[in-house]
Amino acid sequence: MLIGGGSSPIYTDLLKLGFWPRSVTNVDPYALPQNDSCQILHMEDFLEYKIYNDFYHEIWALYSLPFWIDDIKQTDTFLANALLGLASNGNFRIYPIPHVNQGNDYLKIIKKFAENFTMIFPKAQCKFNKYLGTDTVVFNLPHSKEGMNEWLEKNYKRKRNIIEIILDALPEIVKIKSDTCLIKRYNKPTRSRKLNNMYWTSRTNNLPMDN
**What are the sequence ranges of the domains in the chain?**
45-159, 164-205
Identify the bridge partners of residue 139 per DSSP, sorted by sequence position. 92, 126
> Looking at the domain that runs over 45-159, which CATH code has it been given?
3.40.50.150
Nearest-5° Cα angle at 48, 46 to 52: 75
φ/ψ of 132, rounded to 5, equals 55, 40
pLDDT at 204: 37
Kindly give the parts of the chain with pLDDT less than 50. 161, 164-165, 175-211
pLDDT at 96: 80
Residues 160-181: tens digit of each pLDDT? 545 544 655 565 555 444 444 4
Q: How far is Cα 165 from Cα 69, in angstroms, rounded to an integer? A: 24
pLDDT at 84: 96
Q: Sheet holding 125-131: strands in order across?
A: 39-42, 24-27, 2-3, 56-62, 86-95, 134-140, 125-131
Q: Quote the pTM value.
A: 0.72
